[in-house]
């Protein structure tokens, strides 16, 4: 058995792991690179293998940095099954066509306004490409072992990162390999905690927050204070949020704040993401994975006004506060939130709230880092609005929470591969695992291959 690291090395995006066993070839995760341009350019480069020769794909979850390359893989000749949980399949049916549509929309906008270096600018893939690849989805219930490819057994176990997210365990009868995907938090407001695992001979573990601890603070209190002070000055709170996971947590928090009287029930809240609205319905469908009661689920789904059309989205930019706008994408790399940032970032009465990790090279990272201007649609937009970070709403385990999950293993891995982290975070995670657990660790390089002896 061999593993090749096709992504999520020195970065938190582009998760793709190629597993080879005798004549079987399997891809665990199939994500897009995001952030710095050199990373994004990798999306346009051919893979180091023929996609038609891949037997199957297994997804840990539906986020685009783990699933967003599937339309390209299928267009390039992959015809195997894409295994995932039922909830992940439901979410991919929402996320992937939307990703294709956004790329078409951005290419069209760039061509219309002439700010692309390419003539014409082309989308990485289209909505039609995404719709075609959905036929390959093959849902498998969590906890039920199956054979994804000859000679390999697999199972999925809930990881608590989002609805449907899973740890992936592979074995060939003599050795085993465990992929953490993204590890959820033990005390998340919405999701149940990550499942304990017995371990495996080899482990691939994420390190997004490998060098940090989440603040020991109440996310409801922090969010309430941000909204209160912005509303008091008549401002607009703009929250870039992942349509799946983060948007639902924010909706739940805002509903609780209104119920507690921390913010007025009359405060307008807009969810400017039809995709997030659809994803919320998937959360309700799979509410057995949530901590919330049925009543809390329904309240979460109805606390915001859903902005459906692009015209209604544009009209929001002409409105004045106080109000709250939740819009995709979470790293402000595209989507409707970019237009809201363009409209509201220059006004000091407003607040931009980031509710999760911002990878280097993204527009979100620039704003969170204090950049005085940010480039949007070929223009330098001044950032005078308050910028607030709410890391305690993150759906990723921090360093201590990852270590807590690892300490539950019944046996130590022969080798632990640390991925899905910026260089400092990955190395901090390596040092901590080696120091506290005495497990041998390695931080793999892009396209590196390791033999699992």
Both tokens of residue 304?
């915001």
Range from 111-120, 171-180, 195-204, 318-327 carrying the lowest mean pLDDT: 111-120
Task: Please check the confidence at residue 115 and state whether its pLDDT lies above 80.
Answer: no
Q: What is the mean pLDDT of residues 1-21?
A: 97
Residue 280: pLDDT band by 50, 70, 90 thresholds?
Answer: very high
Sort residue 39 into left (φ over 0), alpha (ψ -120 to 50) or beta: alpha
Sort residue 192 into left (φ over 0), alpha (ψ -120 to 50) or beta: beta
pLDDT at 18: 98
Query: Taking a C-beta distance cutoff of 8 angstroms, is the pair 197, 411 a contact?
Result: no
pLDDT at 332: 85
pLDDT at 76: 96
User: Among 255, 256, 246, which residue's Cα sits nearest to residue 279?
Assistant: 246
The vertex-402 CA angle with 400 and 404, nearest 5°, equals 70
Query: Taking a C-beta distance cutoff of 8 angstroms, is the pair 328, 336 a contact?
Result: yes
Task: Please check the confidence at residue 218 and state whether its pLDDT lies above 90.
Answer: no
H helices, E strands: number in the chain: 14, 22
pLDDT digit string (tens) for 117-126?
777 889 999 9
Residue 415 pairs with which residues in a beta bridge? 202
Query: Taking a C-beta distance cutoff of 8 angstroms, is the pair 95, 67 a contact?
Result: yes
Q: State the Cα–Cα distance between residues 249 and 133, nearest whole angstrom.
A: 29
Residue 294: pLDDT band by 50, 70, 90 thresholds?
Answer: very high
Residue 452: pLDDT band by 50, 70, 90 thresholds?
Answer: very high
Q: State the Cα–Cα distance between residues 439 and 205, nearest whole angstrom.
A: 13
pLDDT at 127: 96
Residue 109: pLDDT band by 50, 70, 90 thresholds?
Answer: confident
pLDDT digit string (tens) for 135-160?
999 999 999 999 999 999 999 999 99
pLDDT-above-90 percentage for the chain: 84
pLDDT at 378: 86
Q: What is the mean pLDDT of residues 303-318?
A: 93
Domains and CATH numbers, the chain: 2-212+395-451 (3.60.15.10), 219-393 (3.40.50.10890)
User: Among 35, 33, 76, 38, which residue's Cα sits nearest to residue 57?
Assistant: 76
Q: What is the mean pLDDT of residues 4-11?
A: 97
pLDDT at 335: 80
pLDDT at 314: 93
User: In 260-400, where do the E strands start and end?
Assistant: 269-272, 305-306, 323-327, 351-354, 373-376, 379-382, 386-389
Mean residue pLDDT of the chain comes to 94
> What is the 8-class DSSP label of residue 330?
T
118 vs 299, residue with greater confidence: 299
Selection from 103-107, 216-220, 225-229, 329-333 with the highest mean pLDDT? 225-229
pLDDT at 35: 83
Count of beta carbons in the 10 Å neighbourhood of residue 179: 26
Task: Please check the confidence at residue 110 and state whether its pLDDT lies above 90.
Answer: no
pLDDT at 394: 83
Task: Please check the confidence at residue 417 and state whether its pLDDT lies above 90.
Answer: yes
Q: State the Cα–Cα distance between residues 13 and 202, nearest whole angstrom.
A: 21
Please give the model's pTM, rounded to 2 decimal places. 0.89
Task: Please check the confidence at residue 317 and state whether its pLDDT lies above 80.
Answer: yes
Both tokens of residue 157?
């176990």
pLDDT at 223: 95
Task: Please check the confidence at residue 174 and state whether its pLDDT lies above 90.
Answer: yes
Q: What is the mean pLDDT of residues 188-211?
A: 97
Residue 361: pLDDT band by 50, 70, 90 thresholds?
Answer: confident
Q: What is the mean pLDDT of residues 161-184?
A: 97
Both tokens of residue 270?
């807009």
Task: Please check the confidence at residue 182 and state whether its pLDDT lies above 80.
Answer: yes
User: Among 164, 71, 67, which residue's Cα sits nearest to residue 126?
Assistant: 71
Angle between helices 246-260 and 274-285 (to 10 degrees): 80
pLDDT at 120: 86
pLDDT at 173: 93
Q: What is the mean pLDDT of residues 261-268?
A: 96
130 vs 336, residue with greater confidence: 130
Residue 242: pLDDT band by 50, 70, 90 thresholds?
Answer: confident
Task: Please check the confidence at residue 303 and state whether its pLDDT lies above 90.
Answer: yes
Sorted by sequence, the CB contacts under 8 Å of residue 442 that are 6+ apart come out as 415, 416, 417, 418, 430, 450
Query: Taking a C-beta distance cutoff of 8 angstroms, is the pair 123, 99 a contact?
Result: no
DSSP 88-122: HHHHHHHHHHHHHHHHHHHHHHHHHHT--SSSS--
Task: Please check the confidence at residue 230 and state whether its pLDDT lies above 90.
Answer: yes
Task: Please check the confidence at residue 116 and state whether its pLDDT lies above 80.
Answer: no
CA-based torsion, 168, 45, 207, 329: positive or negative: negative
Q: What is the mean pLDDT of residues 321-326?
A: 95
Residue 91: pLDDT band by 50, 70, 90 thresholds?
Answer: very high
pLDDT at 275: 87
pLDDT at 370: 94
């Amino acid at each position: 058995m061999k593993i090749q690291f096709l992504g999520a090395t020195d970065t938190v995006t582009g998760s793709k792991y190629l597993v080879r066993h005798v004549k079987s070839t399997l891809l665990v995760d199939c994500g897009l690179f995001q952030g710095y341009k050199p990373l994004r350019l990798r999306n346009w480069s051919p893979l180091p293998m023929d996609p038609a020769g891949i037997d199957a794909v297994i997804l840990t979850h539906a986020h685009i940095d783990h699933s967003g390359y599937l339309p390209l893989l299928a267009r390039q000749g992959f015809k195997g099954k894409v295994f995932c949980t039922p909830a992940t399949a439901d979410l991919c049916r929402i996320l992937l066509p939307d990703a294709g549509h956004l790329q078409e929309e951005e290419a069209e906008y760039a061509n219309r306004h002439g700010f692309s270096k390419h003539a014409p600018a082309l989308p990485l893939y289209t909505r039609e490409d995404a719709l075609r690849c959905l036929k390959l989805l093959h849902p498998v219930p969590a906890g039920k072992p199956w054979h994804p490819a000859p000679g390999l057994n697999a199972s999925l176990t809930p990881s608590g990162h989002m609805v449907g997210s899973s740890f992936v365990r592979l074995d060939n009868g003599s050795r085993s390999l465990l992929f953490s995907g993204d590890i959820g938090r033990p005390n998340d407001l919405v999701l149940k905690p990550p499942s304990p695992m017995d371990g495996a001979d080899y482990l691939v573990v994420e390190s997004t927050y490998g060098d940090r601890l989440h603040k020991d603070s109440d996310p409801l209190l922090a969010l309430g204070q941000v909204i209160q002070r912005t509303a008091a000055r008549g401002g607009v709170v703009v929250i870039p949020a992942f349509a799946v996971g983060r948007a639902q947590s924010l909706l739940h928090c805002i509903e609780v704040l209104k119920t507690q009287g921390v913010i007025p029930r009359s405060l307008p809240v807009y969810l400017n993401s039809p995709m997030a609205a659809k994803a919320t319905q998937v959360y309700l469908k799979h509410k057995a994975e949530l901590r919330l009661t049925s009543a809390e689920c329904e309240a979460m789904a109805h606390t915001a006004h859903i902005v459906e059309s692009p015209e209604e989205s544009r009209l929001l930019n002409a409105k004045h506060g106080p109000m709250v706008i939740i819009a995709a994408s979470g790293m402000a790399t595209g989507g409707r939130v970019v237009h809201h940032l363009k409209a509201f970032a220059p006004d000091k009465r407003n607040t931009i709230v980031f509710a999760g990790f911002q990878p280097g090279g993204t527009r979100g990272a620039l704003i969170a880092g204090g950049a005085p201007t940010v480039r949007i649609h070929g223009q330098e937009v001044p950032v005078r609005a308050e910028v607030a970070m709410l890391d305690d709403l993150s759906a990723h385990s921090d360093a201590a929470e990852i270590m807590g999950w690892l300490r539950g293993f019944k046996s130590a891995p022969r080798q632990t591969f640390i991925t899905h982290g910026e260089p400092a975070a990955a190395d901090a995670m390596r040092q901590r695992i080696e120091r506290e657990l005495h497990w041998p660790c390695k931080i793999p390089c892009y396209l590196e291959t390791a033999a699992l002896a």
